[in-house]
Amino acid sequence: MAKRFDRSAACIRAGRGFGAYGRECGLGVTTGVLIKAFIFDLDGVLTDTAEYHYRAWKRLADEEGLPFTREDNEYLRGISRRESLTLILKGRVYPEEKIREMMARKNNYYLQYIHELSPRDLLPGARELLDEIRAAGLKSAIGSASRNAEEVIDRLGLRPLLDAISDGYSVERQKPAPDLFLHAAAQLGLGPSECVVVEDAAAGVEAAKASGFRVVGLGPRERTGGADVVFPSLAGVHLSDILSALAPAVRG
């Protein structure tokens, strides 16, 4: 059962008073900095389709006679399909037509694998945190490089909890450029300083920090250590925990 969000408790735990968070609570009366929204990466944060991506890339690589391991797959976190293929090719040169065909083939394999994706595939703590954010009167958005984000969101049953979606079709420049997150914030009518980005990839953390967002990193510190705060995952993490952890970063 999700922990009931207590606005006053969150404010107190963050070392702040009332008056700045929406209408009731914020990270700081003294700083004047408000948090009005959370922007989530999708894969590795709310769900984990990394295995499906690995299987799809591995199938393509095997067909093309290219070496590709699970370790290689870790370097593909948070970047676009084209950038991923470029890394897999490791300097090998192919005509643009072949590049497009390989990207399409990989995507077809991936779509086959995620056909059975459902709300049961949400990572622990993800739905609970989204519910708490909604109950607190804050906004939520997706900032994902995936061009399949809309389908994954629908299969996970998340659309009613989201106010905006920024995906691989939304912007030309992908992470580590900040465009995805800036586009999501713009859809919400907010600036970077009013939003918190939740990311599990170094490219995403870099993109968000470079454009003035506060960042919650998920996973190993060697991958997300550039974030303002880092949790192992969203399991057991509540909105009040995030506010408390971010307060020192805001004061600093």
Catalytically annotated residues? 41, 43
CA separation for the pair 160, 4 (Å, rounded): 19
Cβ neighbours of residue 200 closer than 8 Å, sequence gap 6 or more: 41, 44, 45, 77, 78, 217, 218, 219, 223, 224
Cβ atoms of 88 and 64 within 8 Å: the answer is: no
- Asked if residue 176 has a cis previous peptide bond (ω within 30° of 0), the answer is yes
Cβ atoms of 167 and 145 within 8 Å: the answer is: yes
* Structure token digits, residue 56: 């799809």
